[in-house]
């Protein structure tokens, strides 16, 4: 059975991939709203191909989603100032790539299991500043509703994803805690923690599976 987190992440992965092709200056809400349907249509057209070659699917997710995600900001947030200020540019770049690769590989199959149960984007919020959120709900195959909240920041005039909260689980905070714990276990060896991040993502999923046992009503 797909866990609650994975059902929620269907929305994250479904809504993001075509965001990189959104019109410049588009609002955060419209960016999410307009591209979700297009992505689901693209998934439906290519699902069998992706099922046959998951690695191709993971690579496609990385290539398409990458431009809309503030990978640098997310990476620094996960590391926190304590560790990011010690990292070299090469280490930061490696962690950004490992972070995206681990996330897409781990949750890519969940997206392939989505069968158009239903996605709804809430009305737009105030977007006058440089930070906003867009709320969305996904209907699971069992009829339960799972809330998702995106946090976006305006960088260089364009909205970029900075965090996501799935069914009350703050993914950014979860990964920050996971990174700090890994650094302690690895004797503050930054390279070892960066290179082992895929394993940390797997551990983080186990934690979220436990916490997300009960869907929102």
Over residues 77-90, the pLDDT tens digits come to 999 999 999 999 99
Q: Which of 98-107, 141-150, 179-188 ranks highest by mean pLDDT?
A: 179-188
Residue pLDDT, tens place only, 178-198: 899 999 999 999 999 999 987
Tell whether the model's pLDDT for residue 52 goes beyond 50: yes
Answer whether 151's CB lies under 8 Å from 161's CB.
Answer: yes
Q: What are the residues whose beta carbons fall under 8 Å from the beta carbon of 88, sequence distance 6 or more?
A: none
- Residue 188 sits at φ, ψ, to 5 deg, of 60, 30
Tell whether the model's pLDDT for residue 31 goes beyond 80: no
CA nearest neighbour of 214 among 150, 161, 147: 147
CA nearest neighbour of 62 among 11, 17, 19: 17
pLDDT score for 15: 42
pTM, 2 dp: 0.75
Alpha-helix runs per DSSP H in the chain? 4-15, 28-52, 54-65, 71-84, 89-112, 171-185, 190-195, 197-211
Answer whether 178's CB lies under 8 Å from 203's CB.
Answer: yes
Q: Which of 115-129, 171-185, 200-214 ranks highest by mean pLDDT?
A: 171-185
Please indicate whether residue 160 or residue 1 has the higher confidence score (pLDDT).
160
């Amino acid at each position: 059975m797909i866990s609650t987190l994975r059902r929620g992440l269907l929305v994250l992965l479904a809504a993001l991939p075509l965001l990189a092709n959104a019109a410049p200056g588009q609002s955060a809400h419209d960016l999410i709203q307009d591209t979700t349907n297009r992505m689901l249509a693209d998934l439906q057209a290519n699902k069998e191909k992706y099922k046959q070659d998951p690695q191709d699917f993971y690579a496609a997710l990385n290539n398409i989603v990458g431009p809309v995600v503030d990978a640098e900001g997310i990476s620094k947030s996960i590391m926190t100032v304590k560790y990011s200020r010690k990292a070299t540019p090469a280490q930061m770049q490696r962690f950004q790539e490992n972070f995206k690769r681990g996330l897409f590989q781990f949750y890519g199959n969940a997206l392939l299991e989505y069968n158009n149960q239903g996605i709804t984007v809430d009305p737009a919020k105030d977007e006058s500043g440089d930070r906003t959120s867009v709320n969305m709900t996904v209907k699971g195959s069992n009829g339960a509703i799972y809330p998702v909240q995106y946090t976006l920041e305006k960088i260089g005039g364009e909205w970029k994803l900075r965090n996501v909260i799935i069914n009350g689980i703050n993914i950014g905070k979860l990964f920050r805690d996971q990174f700090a714990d890994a650094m302690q276990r690895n004797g503050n060896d930054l390279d070892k923690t960066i290179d082992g991040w895929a394993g940390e993502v797997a551990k983080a999923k186990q934690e979220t599976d436990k916490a997300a046992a009960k869907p929102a009503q």
